Amino acid sequence: MTILDNTTIHVAAICGSLRGNGITRMALAYALDGARELGATTHLIDLREYDLVFCDGSSDYPADVQRLRRDVREAQGLLIGTPVYHGSYSGVLKNALDLMGFREFEGRVVGLVGVAGGSSGAMVTLANLRTVFRSLHSWVVPDEVSISKSDSVFSSAGVCNDEPICDRLLNLGRQVARFSYLHHSDHTREFVEMWETAAENPGVSDS
């Protein structure tokens, strides 16, 4: 179901969990599958693979901070996944976001996934993240995926046992790929330019 033409779209997922077999990681894998269905290239950004220091506001950060920034900037679309801790997102994700800024996120299309062990889900966490990415001038897609009672959603092998959740994760990845394509497509830019420079319709009257 490839829809992307000659425009190369890259979608990266940032996993806000340090668990190697965590449910957040499994959920993002499904969402990345959805992006690949539409022809996007994908990459899971595993924060365990970066030696990240705590953000202290300095301008002299080690090489792995610069590598993380480069990996995020290479993507036109981003999927952000986090477990729910005390009604908010994880500390490791917070620190990673604090180590980056407008250069990494401004203009990027973003899809959000929250994973909760309890029955209340991740809606408050996702609302917090929407505020963060609006502040960073990102385009957050309308849909999001809140997973509750997460232990029952995936098998230990990463197979999704909840078909509606699987479908929503796949669709989220598709949305991020699709809107990233529209945002960066030469055809879309040409259309917008034509629209903005079109002659005024002589049949329209202010009266």
Q: Report the pLDDT value the prediction gives residue 59, as an integer from 0 to 100.
A: 75
Q: Residue 100 is part of which domain span?
A: 10-197
Q: Which residues of 125-139 are buried (b: 16+ CB within 10 A; e: fewer)?
A: bbebbeebbeebebb
Residue 179 lies in a domain: yes
Residue 4 lies in a domain: no
Residue 202 lies in a domain: no
Distance between CA atoms of 36 and 43, rounded to whole angstroms? 10
Residue 78 lies in a domain: yes
Residue 52 lies in a domain: yes
Question: For each of the chain's 207 residues, which pLDDT tens digit applies?
Answer: 455 555 789 999 999 999 988 999 999 999 999 999 999 999 999 999 999 999 988 878 999 999 999 999 999 999 999 999 999 999 999 999 999 999 999 999 999 999 999 888 899 999 999 999 999 999 999 999 999 999 889 888 888 899 999 999 999 999 999 999 988 776 666 655 665 676 665 555 554
Q: Report the pLDDT value the prediction gives residue 6, as an integer from 0 to 100.
A: 59
Angle CA 131–137–139, to nearest 5: 80
Count of domains forming the chain = 1
Q: What is the CATH number of the domain that holds 142?
A: 3.40.50.360
Q: How many CB atoms lie within 10 A of CB 116?
A: 22
Q: Report the pLDDT value the prediction gives residue 167, as an integer from 0 to 100.
A: 96
Residue 80 lies in a domain: yes
Residue 117 lies in a domain: yes
Residue 123 lies in a domain: yes
